[in-house]
A and B are shown apart, each in its own frame.
Chain A
C-alpha cells in the first residue's frame, strides 16, 4: 500500500510539471497585457513599455518560465502582478471560504442524497422513487444562480432568517459562520444532491438484485441493515467517486455561488486573475487545482480498498 501511495505521488510530479508548462505557455499566448491593466486608461505606449519592464514582462519567455520554475522549486508561487501580494497569501485568504462552502455543501449533499437514493432504489418504481427522480431532474435543471436568488428572497429577505451575503470565519464563532454558509451551501449542493442521489439509486439497484442481498434477507435481517450495511457498502465505490470528484470541483472554485452570496473564495480569485491577466496568480491557482484533483483521486482510489476487500494495491 505504502509503495503504491509513493508511486502515485511520484507519478503526480510529471503531471504537475506538464500542467505548469502548458498553463505558462497558454497564458503567454492569450491576448491581454497586465501592464495596460495596471496603468489604466491614460497610459501612453512609452509608459506601458516601462511598466512591462518593471514587471519583468519584457524578458524572453524562456527566462520568465525558468524564473518561475525556480521560484516554484523553492516553494514560492510568486507575487501578483496587479496587487503585488504574494500568491500564497492571496490563496490563503480565499481558501477558508471555499473550503467551508465545499465541506458543508458536500456534507449536505451526502446526508440528503445517499438516503434519498437508497430509498428510491428500495421503493423502485414507487412514489418515493418518482419523487427522488423528479427532484433530481429539477436539481440538475435549475441554474444555480436561480436557486440562490430564490433562497435569498425567501429565507433572507422575506423571512429574515439569514443574511443576504458575506462570509464569517468559523474562528469568529459558529453562529455567524453558520448563518452565512447555510444558504450558499444548500444552493451549491442542489446539483450534487441530484447527481449523488441518481448515482446511489443506480448503484443500489445493481446491488439489490445480488444473491447476497437475498441471503441477508433470508437470514431475517431488518431492511435497514440489509440496505445500509450490505447493499450500500457494496454500491459505494461509484458513489464515492462522484462525491470525490464533486468535492475537488468545489474546492477549485464555484464562481457563481460565490458571486451570488458574495463569498470571497477561490472561484472569484480565479476569475479576477484571469480578467486581469495576473499570470502568477492564475498559474498558482491552476497548480493548486491540479494538486487537489491528483490528491482527491488518490484518496478515492485508496478508499476503494477499505470499501471492497477484493481491491488491493
Chain B
C-alpha cells in the first residue's frame, strides 16, 4: 500500500510537473506563434449558393475562383492563356488537345485527371450559354490519357479557347469527376477544388461568412499573375468574406480598421473613404458594368418593331447614368453592346443613345406605328441600388415621347420571378425591365445572353425570335481573324439595335476600397485574392 501510495504520489507529481512544463511550453508557443495572416473582406453580397455552375450569381463565381482552378484563363488584355492546361490546335482547326500541367491536386489529395476535366466541362456546357453553343459544334470531348483532353469539332468554331478562358458568368471550374457528374440542374454538395484556397466548411454561415484558407499543396504557374491567369501565389493564411447588409456600417468598419477590403463601395459614401489617407479607393475591374433595358417581344406594345424603335429613340444614356451614378468619374456613355474597352467594341447604330436621344423622332415613329396607348408595364426593382434609377428615368423619357407607362415597384427577387413569366402583362407578365452585366458577360455575341433569337423556348427573357440574328451568330463563331470577328460583331450590333433586341444604357464602375496595409490586389474583371499580402 505504501509502495502504491509512493508510486501514486511520484506519478501524480510527475504528471503535475509534466503538465506544468507543457502549459509553459504551450504558453510560450502561443506567445511566439504568429497570428494567421488574414484578409477580412466585405464582398458585394453574401455567399448562399456554393455551386458555381448551377448559378450565374457573381458572388458564387467569385467563390469559385477562390477554391477551383480553371482549365484556361484570360490575361489583362482579355486573351486566353494556359492555366491548368496548355493547348495545341490541329492545322484544320477542328481538333484541340489540352495537356494538364504537373502538380495539380484536388483539396482531398487526389490528383486532377483529364477525366475530371471532361466531366467538369460537360457539366459547365449544360448551364453556360456559350458552352451550349460550342457543344453544338463538338463531335467528341474525351480524356485520352490521365493528362490529355481531346476536343474534336464537327465544324469550325473559333471561340473554343475564348469560351474555356472566359471569366464570367460561368468559368470552366474543374471539380473531381464524382462531383462534376451531379446533374447540372442540381446543386453540388461537396466543395472540393484544386484552386489556391480551400473552403473551410466548418466556418461557413450562408449569407453571413465564408472562410478560405491557403491551399499549401497548390503549385502556381511560373508566369506573373495577370487578371485570372498566371501564377496564383497565395501570400496570406486566410481570407474571410463577411457580409454586411448596411453600406454605412461597412464604411464605418473600414474607417475603424475592422475590415481590410470592400469589393464595391457605394458611390454616395465615397467621400467618407476618400478622405481617409490609410485607404485606397481604386476600380480594380477596369471594364466595369453595363446597364441595359430589355423589352418583351411577345406582347403589345413591344411586339411591334416600330414601337420598340420609338422607345429606343426616346431613351438616352446620359440621363440614365447621371441619375444612377451621379459622379461622372465612375460612368461613361458607351454605344457598344459588347462594352467599351473590349476587342469588339463598336458604336454602330447607337448615335441617339449616346447623344441626347431623339424624342421628336420617337413621337413620329409612335404615330406612324399607330400606338394606341397600350400601357408599358415597367418593372422597377426598389431594393438594389444599382437598379433603382433606370426605371424612373426611362419612365419619364418614355412618357415624354408619348408612351403610357405603368411602373410597378417590387423587390428584385419578385422581379426575377416575374420576368420569367410569358403571360400577358395584365396577367402577371411585363413589357420592360432593367438589369446590369459585368462586361465579360456581354463582350461578344456568343456569351451575350440577350443576343440570341431563339424565341419563347431558348431565348432570354423578352424572347425575341430572330432568325437573322442567329444566322449572324453562327457566322461569327466560324470566322478566325480578329478583323473578321469585329466586322460581323458590328453587323450584329447594327441589326440588334435596329430591331431593338435590347437597349444598352451605358457603362459604370464601382470602386473597391482597401486598407493600405493590404497590397498586391490585381486588376481583374473578377475580384481575386492570390498575390495579395497584408502587413501586421
Tell me which of B48, B50, B418, B457 contacts A46 (CB under 8 A).
B457
Instruction: Considering the complex, give the chain B residue whose CB is closest to the CB of A156.
Output: B256
Q: Is B245 an interface residue (CB 8 A)?
A: yes
Tell me which of A46, A53, A156 contacts B252 (CB under 8 A).
A156
Residues of chain A with a CB closer than 8 A to B428's CB: 31
Residues of chain A with a CB closer than 8 A to B255's CB: 157
Flag if A165 contacts B258 (CB, 8 Å): yes
* Residues 165-208 of chain B, each 1 if its beta carbon lies under 8 Å from chain A, else 0: 00001000000000000010111010000000000000001111
Flag if B169 contacts A42 (CB, 8 Å): yes
Instruction: Considering the complex, give the chain A residue whose CB is closest to the CB of B169.
Output: A42
Q: Is B327 an interface residue (CB 8 A)?
A: no
**Cα A181 to Cα B183 with chains together (Å):** 44
Q: Is A175 an interface residue (CB 8 A)?
A: no
Q: Which of A36, A53, A259: most chain B CB closer than 10 A? A: A36
Flag if A45 contacts B246 (CB, 8 Å): no
Q: Is B158 an interface residue (CB 8 A)?
A: no
Flag if B418 contacts A84 (CB, 8 Å): no
Flag if A38 contacts B206 (CB, 8 Å): no
Flag if B57 contacts A42 (CB, 8 Å): no
Instruction: Considering the complex, give the chain B residue whose CB is closest to the CB of A30.
Output: B414
Report the minimal beta-carbon distance from A176 to chain B, rounded to whole angstroms.
13
**Cα A53 to Cα B184 with chains together (Å):** 12
Q: Is A286 an interface residue (CB 8 A)?
A: no
Q: Is B435 an interface residue (CB 8 A)?
A: yes
Instruction: Considering the complex, give the chain B residue whose CB is closest to the CB of A268.
Output: B245
Q: Is B352 an interface residue (CB 8 A)?
A: no
Q: Is A64 an interface residue (CB 8 A)?
A: no
In the complex, chain A residues 257-283 whose Cβ is within 8 Å of any chain B Cβ: 259-262, 264, 268-269, 272, 275-277
Instruction: Considering the complex, give the chain A residue whose CB is closest to the CB of B42.
Output: A262
Knowing A45-B456, A47-B127, A54-B185, the reply to whether A277 touches B57 (Cβ < 8 A) is no
* Residues 30-72 of chain A, each 1 if its beta carbon lies under 8 Å from chain B, else 0: 0111001111111111111011011000000000000000000
Report the minimal beta-carbon distance from B266 to chain A, rounded to whole angstroms.
15
Flag if A41 contacts B56 (CB, 8 Å): yes
- Chain B, interface size: which category? 35 or more
Q: Is B226 an interface residue (CB 8 A)?
A: no
Q: Is B231 an interface residue (CB 8 A)?
A: no
Q: Is A177 an interface residue (CB 8 A)?
A: no
Report the minimal beta-carbon distance from B184 to chain A, rounded to whole angstroms.
8
Residues of chain A with a CB closer than 8 A to B416's CB: 32-33, 36-37
Knowing A51-B185, A165-B249, the reply to whether A39 touches B56 (Cβ < 8 A) is yes
Flag if A262 contacts B169 (CB, 8 Å): no
**Cα A224 to Cα B442 with chains together (Å):** 75
Flag if A83 contacts B449 (CB, 8 Å): no
Report the minimal beta-carbon distance from A295 to chain B, rounded to whole angstroms.
26
Knowing A40-B57, A156-B256, the reply to whether A45 touches B249 (Cβ < 8 A) is no
Flag if A44 contacts B189 (CB, 8 Å): no
Flag if A164 contacts B208 (CB, 8 Å): no
Q: Is B278 an interface residue (CB 8 A)?
A: no
Q: Is B527 an interface residue (CB 8 A)?
A: no
Report the minimal beta-carbon distance from A185 to chain B, rounded to whole angstroms.
16
**Cα A252 to Cα B345 with chains together (Å):** 52
Residues of chain A with a CB closer than 8 A to B410's CB: 31
Flag if A45 contacts B258 (CB, 8 Å): no
Flag if A93 contacts B249 (CB, 8 Å): no
Q: Is B86 an interface residue (CB 8 A)?
A: no
Flag if A261 contacts B56 (CB, 8 Å): no
Q: Which of B183, B252, B441: most chain A CB closer than 10 A? A: B252
A-B contact pairs, 12 of them (CB 8 A): A31-B410, A32-B414, A45-B420, A54-B183, A157-B252, A166-B258, A261-B249, A262-B244, A262-B245, A262-B246, A275-B411, A276-B48
Counting from the closest, the 3 A-B pairs by CB-CB distance are: A40-B56, A83-B206, A33-B417
Mark A residues whose CB is within 8 Å of B: 31-33, 36-48, 50-51, 53-54, 80, 82-85, 90, 93-94, 149, 152, 156-157, 163-166, 259-262, 264, 268-269, 272, 275-277
Beyond the given pairs A36-B417, A39-B54, A165-B258, 10 more chain A to chain B contacts, judged by CB atoms under 8 angstroms and listed by A's residue number, are A31-B410, A39-B55, A42-B56, A44-B457, A82-B206, A85-B206, A149-B248, A164-B258, A260-B248, A272-B48
